[in-house]
Every structure is written in structure tokens, then in C-alpha cells.
Structure 1
Amino acid sequence: MGRCGIVFGVSAIPAAPDVLAPDVEMTPLPDVAERLGLVVTRVHQLIRDGHLLAMRRDGILVVPAAFLTETAVVKGLGGTITLLRDNGYNEDEILTWLFTPDDSLPGTPIEALRGDRGREVKRRAQAMGF
């Protein structure tokens, strides 16, 4: 086990515990790479650099499908992850927060990022540290 509760496997790609509901759609890393038009090692680097969060589900390293558009990482996701990390949140706490419904948004923070409410999500992420 690495810092912040991250589980490091043989590949040393940071993977959070599976803290999301079983019905949250996941995308295996090779499929993420194909969707983004990247080699899989570049996806590994996006995870290491904190632009994406991965977790292990049923032994497979996956990324929540909601983190991706048809051809890119959702705009503002990397910045939101960074803000939350800077405020002391670990990967499983960040995943949980992104997928927890908030009636005042409305919806979940990841749904708001996928829509036109990224600024509000970042404002809330920044305020969570105070």
C-alpha cells in the first residue's frame, strides 16, 4: 500500500480502492487509450500525473467512463483532482466526492463537470479545504 491509501501493483500505476457503486460504468485502460487516441503507457502517465484517477475493479485497472468524452478527458477534471489533493483528499475520497449526488448542483460533481458547471465544481473543491 502506498501513500494516501493508493494500492501500488506490479505496474506502479496508482489505483484507488473500488469505492464506487457497482453500477458506475468503468472503462479498462486499453479502451481509454483507444478512445483518447493514445498509447496505453500515455494513459498510465495521465494517471500518475493526476489528470485521471484509476481503480481496480474485479482485478482490472479501470477509469470511470464519466471521466471521458468521446475523444478526451472531461474538461476541468484534472484541475478539480489537483484542488482536492491539495486540500488533503486522497484518491478514494476524491472518487467518492465526484460521484456523490448534491441537490444544490443538481446531480453529482462529475455530471456538473461534464455539463457547463465546471467553474462551480472547482469553486466547491477549493472551498472544501477551508
Structure 2
Amino acid sequence: MNDVLDSVTNWLTVPEAAEELNVPLGRVRRMLEEHQLIAARRDGVLKIPAEVIVDGEPLASLQGTMIVLLDCVLSEQEAVEWLYTFDDSLPGTPMEFLLKGHKSAVRRLAMLLA
């Protein structure tokens, strides 16, 4: 089985993310609950893709995009996987386009899931 999250090359544990963001562990957990950050279980450990922390801050476009995906009745895990799944209409992964600053194109595509 091909796991789309295998394309993520650098994962951070919650304590590592707290250090990277220079915030307490509880704040990272709150950022995850509020969808400012995303995470997935990797080898049984909750991990955050390092690329969603940009210049010491959560990727600004991530929270709104996650809310759109969750409103489309995806689970958090499915939403994270969708962000890393190649889409011909972009072309690339939604995460690649978020990182390039193209949140509108990604959110339009996400709304088609509803």
C-alpha cells in the first residue's frame, strides 16, 4: 500500500515542534486542536510535518484550508492525506501549492469535495 505521507521527508514530534515554535507543549497541542498545525501518527507517534512551520510560525494558510476540508466531512487524517495527494488540476500536491502561497486554488479544489 502506498502511503502518500511517505513523501514528507522531515517530521517533528510535538516536543520538537514546541522547540521550533518557541512555545510550550500545551500551546502546540492547542495549535493542533485549532488546526493551525497538522499531524499524523507515524510509527505510533504523533508527528507534525516540519514544512508547516515557516519562519518559526505555523503556515498561515493551513488553518482555513483544514477547516474547509473538515467541513467537507473529511476526518483529520483524511484531510492531512488529501494535502499530500498529487492532483492533476494543480498540478502537484495541495501542500506544495499552500507552501507557494496559492491558498485560493487549494481551497477551491477542496470545496469540490463537498
TM interval, shorter chain, is 0.7 to 0.9
Q: Relative to 1, partners in 2 of residues 1:71 and 1:23: Cα closer, same or farther, differing over 3 Å?
A: closer
Confirm whether residue 89 of structure 1 aligns to residue 74 of structure 2.
Answer: yes
Q: Does 1:120 align with 2:109?
A: no
Partner residue in 1 for 2:60: 75
- The aligned counterpart of 1:51 is 36
AA paired with 2:55? Answer: E
1:51 counterpart letter in structure 2: Q
Q: Give the 3 Å change call, closer, same or farther, for CA 98–41 of structure 1 in structure 2.
A: same
Match of 1:103 in 2: 88
- Count residues with an aligned counterpart: 112
Identify the residue that residue 5 of structure 2 maps to in structure 1: 20
Counterpart position of 2:23: 38
Alignment deviations for residues 33-92 of structure 1 (CA, whole Å, 9 cap, x no partner): 111121111000111222222222223221112222131111210101001111100012
Amino acid of the residue matched to residue 96 of structure 2? Answer: E
In structure 1, distance between residues paired with 2:93 and 2:53: 15
Structure 2 gap segments, 5+ residues each: none
4+ residue runs over 3 A deviation:
none
Greater shift in the superposed pair: 59-68 or 85-94: 59-68
Deviates more, 1:92-101 or 1:47-56: 47-56
Percent of matched pairs sharing the same residue: 37
TM-score, length basis structure 1 = 0.76
Note the aligned Cα RMSD (angstroms): 1.9
Kept after mapping to 1: 8 A contact 2:12/2:47: yes
CA spacing shift, 1:80–1:22, aligned 2, 3 Å: closer
State the TM-score, normalized to the length of structure 2.
0.86
5+ residue gaps in structure 1? 1-17
- Give the superposition deviation at 1:22: 6.7
Bigger fraction of residues in strand? 2
